[in-house]
Structure 1
Amino acid sequence: MDDNLELYEYSKKMSEAKLIKWCCLPKSPIYCDNLLQIVKDELSFMQIGDEKLITKSMVNNYVKWGMMPKPLKKKYERLHIAHVIVITILKQILPISEIKYGIQLQIVLHGKERAYDAFAEALEESMRKVFVPILQKQNTYVLDERRVDYDKLAISSITTSLSNKLLTEKIVETKIKKYNNLAKSQEVDYE
């Protein structure tokens, strides 16, 4: 497959990535299996191969480590779902210990609903800013200037870091495929 076409298709998907907003999270408590399915569905754009983005063990550890509230009678609410989505995304970039305090800080500053929606909006904006220039099909990659209020600087920085990481991984993956295909086509059978 042409690596530029593959990168273009990937960039199109990533630039259109959206996270569920707080108001659209389930209003009724759900069991862990439902929580896992929601998170998997929401973060499918980040899925690479067979890698598990989230498991029951991970959720149990997040509760045990105090990264999110304990479920009530084994049922999870909106706040739990939001925590798991954010943790799953941020652990791609930050150590778990820093994520806990970052989430707490954002909730203190903005409240749980606004903190989650602000994160979702920042991620969507970062994905567009990083991936849309690929869709321009120009010979140079041009990032638009970005203005960020200081109270959103941490969220903007981390979501931009994730977007850049995902782009870099895709570029490396496509270049490795191209190199491997080139190497295979140049192999000579001496038997």
Structure 2
Amino acid sequence: MRKTTDVIGEMVFHNQILPEDIPKIDLYIDQVIQLFESSFVDSKRRSDEKILTKTMINNYAKGKLFYPVHNKKYSRDHIMLISLIYQMKSALSINDVKQVLTGINEKAEQKELDLEAFYRSYLALQQSNTEVFADALKHQTQEAADQVVEVKDSEELERVLLIASLVHTSNLYRRAAEKLVDEMVERVEK
């Protein structure tokens, strides 16, 4: 099986929209899509995959995942919120994402939160998570290899074990996130 370092090297962890990448002027929806497409192009699994579409953004707006736009233009704060939605929707339901971001949206709309500072904190955590992930992937790869020592077709079995292990780990993280969302909802309801 390929070395873990090769797999990690091929994965793109730096794809993110940094605050300094966001223009200082408000953007129309096509410009927002272009910004996301150019920023996340290397993280696509397939070249024909869409990162963000007008329909997605309109659905986020209708679902009130971010506060209303003005004159069909998206502010820097909207773009940071859409980036958070983009990241969260791969593991959480849209309803859960909405629950998580409701307070952030309200504070950002009322200018009670420096969304850029919050977003930079998120990016710093993301960088730290990337380092933790790389170490964990090396460990999981070794664990899978250790389980199939001296077995015929061990490379295929090792790969299947590693994939199953990664999916299980992903599910554990998703369930932990869902539990935290549920606790947020309970606190709000009280």
Shorter-chain TM-score tier:
0.5 to 0.7
1:1-191 equivalence runs, <5 A: 3-5=1-3, 8-14=5-11, 16-49=13-46, 50-106=48-104, 108=107, 111-132=114-135, 139=142, 168=166
CA displacement at 1:121 relative to structure 2: 1.7
1:43 match: secondary structure:
helix
Asked if the contact 2:29–2:72 (Cα under 8 Å) also holds between the matched residues in 1, the reply is: yes
Asked if the contact 1:18–1:120 (Cα under 8 Å) also holds between the matched residues in 2, the reply is: no
Structure number with greater CO (CA < 8 Å, separation at least 6) is: 1
Rounded Cα–Cα distance in structure 1 between residues aligned with 2:134 and 2:37 = 22
Deviates more, 1:56-65 or 1:14-23: 14-23
TM-score by length of 2: 0.61
2:72 match: secondary structure:
coil
In the TM superposition, what whole-angstrom CA distance separates every residue of 1:77-98 from its partner, at most 9, and x where no partner exists? 1112112111111111011111
Asked if the contact 2:17–2:83 (Cα under 8 Å) also holds between the matched residues in 1, the reply is: no
Rounded Cα–Cα distance in structure 2 between residues aligned with 1:124 and 1:14 = 14
Asked if the contact 1:15–1:131 (Cα under 8 Å) also holds between the matched residues in 2, the reply is: no
Deviates more, 1:90-99 or 1:73-82: 73-82
Rounded Cα–Cα distance in structure 2 between residues aligned with 1:105 and 1:42 = 27
Q: How many residues align?
A: 142
Closer, same or farther: CA 121–41 of 1 in aligned 2, 3 Å: farther
Rounded Cα–Cα distance in structure 1 between residues aligned with 2:131 and 2:121 = 15
TM-score by length of 1: 0.60
In the TM superposition, what whole-angstrom CA distance separates every residue of 1:130-187 from its partner, at most 9, and x where no partner exists? 0256579x8459xxxxxxxxxxxxxxxxxxxxxxx9x937xxxxxxxxxxxxxxxxxx
Asked if the contact 2:17–2:36 (Cα under 8 Å) also holds between the matched residues in 1, the reply is: no
Closer, same or farther: CA 112–75 of 1 in aligned 2, 3 Å: same
Closer, same or farther: CA 13–48 of 1 in aligned 2, 3 Å: same
Rounded Cα–Cα distance in structure 1 between residues aligned with 2:33 and 2:117 = 23
Rounded Cα–Cα distance in structure 2 between residues aligned with 1:12 and 1:133 = 14
Structure 1 partner of 2:188: none
Query: What root-mean-square deviation, in Å, do the aligned CA atoms of Structure 1 and Structure 2 show?
Result: 3.2
CA displacement at 1:72 relative to structure 2: 1.9
Asked if the contact 2:12–2:42 (Cα under 8 Å) also holds between the matched residues in 1, the reply is: no
Rounded Cα–Cα distance in structure 2 between residues aligned with 1:113 and 1:126 = 20
Which contiguous aligned blocks of 4+ residues in structure 1 show a shift greater than 6 angstroms?
A: none
Asked if the contact 1:29–1:75 (Cα under 8 Å) also holds between the matched residues in 2, the reply is: yes
Aligned amino acid, residue 51 of structure 1:
E
CA displacement at 1:122 relative to structure 2: 1.5
Rounded Cα–Cα distance in structure 2 between residues aligned with 1:59 and 1:72 = 14
